[in-house]
Amino acid sequence: MDIGTATRIRILNLCKEHGLSLNMLATVSGITQSTLQNVTSGRNKSTTVSTVKKICDGLGITVREFFDDDIFDNLEQEIK
């Protein structure tokens, strides 16, 4: 799995855990709905750390907590 896919799945899982729709997450995170939609649909495969931080702030978690998930273990090497 690549980092973009893992990040997308993690965001979707966190929305479920927190009982938030993507639109609500965009609102509480201060990012546009289109940005979040692009990330979670897979259109944007290179989410910035800044966007992840905003999502974490909206969810009330730290960046460390965001990446502290088994989904980020054994990611594919990005250098080709």
Domain ranges of the chain: 3-70
CA-CA distance, 80 to 67, in Å (whole number)? 23
Instruction: Report the amino acid identity of residue 44.
Output: N
pLDDT of 38 higher than 80: yes
Q: Is the domain covering 3-70 a CATH 2.30.40.10 domain?
A: no
Record the pTM. 0.90
Please state the separation of Cα 42 from the chain's center in Å: 11
Mean pLDDT of 33-59: 93
CA-CA distance, 34 to 3, in Å (whole number)? 20
CA-CA distance, 32 to 44, in Å (whole number)? 14
- Chain length of the chain: 80
